[in-house]
Amino acid sequence: MTQRTEEQYFDQLMQLEFAVLGFFDDHPDLTDAVVDSAYEELAKRYRAEATAHEYKPGKLDGLRLELHDTLLPLAEMLVGRPDNVMPYAPVSAQAMQDVFKRLRASIKRWGKVGGRQAYLNFIGGQLGGLELDGLDED
């Protein structure tokens, strides 16, 4: 398996953040705390896999659970399940955990700037006009 490049790493971050933005469009009451909870649960899932421990799901509900369930198929695709359809090698569970740690750190950093939706507004401003290669906007 080949090492992912920095460009691929940021592509993975952006794909997850694009999915969050799409969810935010449908749920304008979404907050950074809800996103953080979903990211935390996903990081926990991949940490368990990376350390060969049993994954014990947390108690997510409402928007937290809905966002988690929206992001999980994308995360699974990034680790190569069910089939690797990405233009590069799938990432390991440890790498996926690192991606979610990085995303959570971004939420924390933007939360210090202020507002319940500081991170969401930041990624909206950064990614709002971009498209992923090969994906059409609806």
Confidence of residue 83 (pLDDT cuts 50, 70, 90): confident
| Single pTM value for the model | 0.85
User: Higher model confidence: residue 1 or residue 106?
Assistant: 106
Contact 115, 121 (CB under 8 A): yes
- Rounded CA-CA distance 114/92 in Å is 34
Q: pLDDT digits over 6-16, tens only?
A: 777 788 888 89
